[in-house]
């Protein structure tokens, strides 16, 4: 199981998502715009599933900005972890 601290410290040229205790590098998704879009979709689709279901996930951009994704909203909100 990955940790939120491990997610914050990732150093990747791609978007990275964190949800349900998983950290996933979205480099396989193509362009930076596609990585953000598909990363958000991946989080939203998988929230509330798995061994540690949560209602919030995060996506980190290559520049280090972190956004929160939740079931309550279809928008990515800037987050401070």
Higher pLDDT, 74 or 6: 6
Number of domains in the chain: 1
Instruction: State pTM to two decimals.
Output: 0.84
- Residues 33-67 as b or e (16 or more Cβ within 10 Å = b): eebbbbbbebbbebbeeeeeebeebbbbbeeeebb
Which residues form the domain of 73?
4-78
> pLDDT of 55-70, one tens digit each?
889 999 999 999 999 8
């Amino acid at each position: 199981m990955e940790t939120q601290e491990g997610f914050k410290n990732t150093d990747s040229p791609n978007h990275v998502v964190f949800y349900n205790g998983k950290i996933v590098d979205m480099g396989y998704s193509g362009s930076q715009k596609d990585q953000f879009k598909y990363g958000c979709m991946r989080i939203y689709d998988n929230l509330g599933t798995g061994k540690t279901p949560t209602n919030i996930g995060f996506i980190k951009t290559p520049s280090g900005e972190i956004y929160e994704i939740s079931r309550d909203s279809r928008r990515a909100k800037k987050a401070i972890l």
